[in-house]
Amino acid sequence: MRLGQNIGHGSHAGRVRPLNEDYHRVWQFPISSGPLTLIAVADGMGGAAAGELASKLAMEVLDESFNLYVGALERGEPIVGIDKLTEKAVRLANRRVYAAAIANSGSRGMGTTLTCVALQKHRACVGHVGDSRAYLVRGARIYQLTKDHSWVEEQLEKGLLSEEQAKSHEWRNLITRALGTRPQISPDIVEINVQQGDVLVISTDGLHSLVSPEEIMQEVKRTANRQSAVEYLINLANERGGPDNITLIIAEVG
């Protein structure tokens, strides 16, 4: 099972922020045992160029880690599973961003979210830190595969806030876990089985804070053109104010 050509991706600074500190990538590694696909989004924070640097560093580490993995796999060397690879890559990204932050006084306090999905054959592995999100659209339903690492999400779990209160709370953008803000991080790792016709969606909060999961699913079901869906949903977030950077990847399992 692999991701075919039906994949869309895009990023926009939004209507308020002067810079786009989001970063995203789509990789497809040809492997004799079956292609490995990796999609990822990162939402940098720290102001000026620091957030952009943090999100870019996270992507560079993913690129390095998965390229080394593919090389070892093709040479027949003993390797770990995709879940372990994803976890190690996210942890390494955290160390790289943290090291860069303390090495440069102008980058102190920078960090980034990171949400990635690695897919090979019938298995997908999600690695996640922060409040970017991964969804799975299957049939007429959409499932959120990640849990926001945010203050509001913690209050929701404790029953101290309602869904309606959470949507407009002044601390809704306060995240409790991010890459680069401490020496060690514990990423969430989720493995799922995928099947033909499934659609994977990953986004930064500039998209999903303004566009509901149901609206995402409706657009995914409305058109088979994934790039068209990406552009429509990004435009929708901008029409609703676009206060933050907006990044989205939609990929169909073919």
Which fold does the domain 3-253 belong to in CATH? Phosphatase 2c; domain 1 (3.60.40)
Could you identify the residue written with the tokens 């102008």? 106
- pLDDT tens figures, 213-243: 999 999 999 999 999 999 999 999 999 999 9
The DSSP symbol for 1 reads -
Q: Burial of 62 by CB count in 10 Å (0-12 exposed, 13-18 middle, 19+ buried)?
A: buried
Q: In the structure, what pLDDT confidence band is assigned to residue 9 with cuts at 50, 70 and 90?
A: very high
Per-residue model confidence (pLDDT) at position 163: 67
- pLDDT tens figures, 151-186: 676 766 666 666 666 666 555 667 889 999 999 999
> Which residues does 11 contact at the CB level (< 8 Å), separation at least 6?
20, 22, 23, 24, 234, 245, 246, 247, 248
What is the value of pTM for the model shown? 0.92
